Structure 1
Amino acid sequence: MRLPRYSRTSPSHSRAERSPMLLEAFPGKKRRGISLTPLIDVVFILLLFFMLSSDFMHWRQISLSSANETESNPDSVELIRIESDSGELSHDGKRFALQDLAGLTALVAAEPDAVYAVEAVAGVKTQTLVSVLDQLHKAGADKVSMTGVLP
């Protein structure tokens, strides 16, 4: 006995007849996928709502005095010049060595509120400049600045 041959294009046979091992739970219904577009729209609207309704910074008022209310009393500026890379310092014609912490302490003790401006001559290494700044800090100078012309 010869079995009939079924083709896919045959309109008279259903899918179950063509393939006897295929079980269909819901014949004739296609399974639709869930569209993510409405979900993304809802998430975007929620994000926008919470961004607009949140406070990220607490605004505070700061009272500032105007320039003419306070009298400015500028501190005196003491110029310390680094004369050489070996650490020779000069201030008002006096010479100090970089290791002379007692001399720098006496200088700072004479003017404790002064601004100490450190100027280096050309050719002084950066390490020497940093060492002078450290020594001034050890001597008690709170306001130390660098000055001079860049090469």
Structure 2
Amino acid sequence: MQLDAGKRRKAGQVNLTPLIDVVFILLLFFLLSSTFTQWRELNVTASGQANDVEQQALLEIQLVSSLGDIRVADQLYAADALNLQQLVAENPNTVFAIDARDGLTAQAMITLADRLKQAGAERVSLAGIVR
């Protein structure tokens, strides 16, 4: 007597569509519920914006290196908080004009401008000095 053992089962196929849906929903959830870096606003005086720049003193600060070394009136300083606070205290109503050497990045200039603002400088210009 011959017994019918039944049909052989095919190996089951896994449908990936529900898995992809769940992954996208999780991705969307984490993107919407996460917090991103809060960027600070830095007010910078452009050369054409200020009409009273001529009435105020202008102090040229030359950015010498990407590490933050600066040159003011032919003296070399490290751009740490103490030196910048002293510089701002000595020149209270001054426009600080940041000029950079060739090869330095814009981020180094922005970092110096931000440090000057934190030291108490009210007017910072990235326009550079016209020679």
Please report the TM-score for the alignment, with normalisation by the length of structure 2.
0.54
TM-align CA RMSD:
1.9
Aligned partner of 1:83 in structure 2 is 64
Aligned partner of 1:128 in structure 2 is 108
Residue deviations 1:56-111 (CA, integer Å, cap 9, x gap): xxxxxxxxxxxxxxxx970100000001222210101221223x111111111011
Query: What is the 5 A alignment of 1:16-95?
Result: 74-95=55-76
Structure 2: distance between partners of 1:144 and 1:119: 11
- Identity across aligned pairs (percent)? 30
Please report the TM-score for the alignment, with normalisation by the length of structure 1.
0.47
Question: SS where residue 147 of structure 1 aligns?
Answer: coil
Misfit runs of 4+, over 4 Å: none
Preserved contact between residue 97 and residue 128 of structure 2 (Cα < 8 Å): no
Matching residue within 122, 125, 130 for 1:145? 125
Q: Which has the larger radius of gyration?
A: 1
Structure 2: distance between partners of 1:96 and 1:80: 10
Match of 1:131, as an amino acid? T
Question: SS where residue 74 of structure 1 aligns?
Answer: coil
Structure 1: distance between partners of 2:108 and 2:85: 18
Query: 1:118 aligned to 2:62?
Result: no
Structure having greater relative contact order (Cα 8 Å, sep ≥ 6): 2
Instruction: Specify every segment of 5 or more residues in structure 1 that has no aligned partner in the other structure, as ranges.
Output: 1-71
Matching residue within 78, 86, 93 for 1:97? 78
Residue deviations 1:1-46 (CA, integer Å, cap 9, x gap): xxxxxxxxxxxxxxxxxxxxxxxxxxxxxxxxxxxxxxxxxxxxxx
Structure 2: distance between partners of 1:79 and 1:138: 18
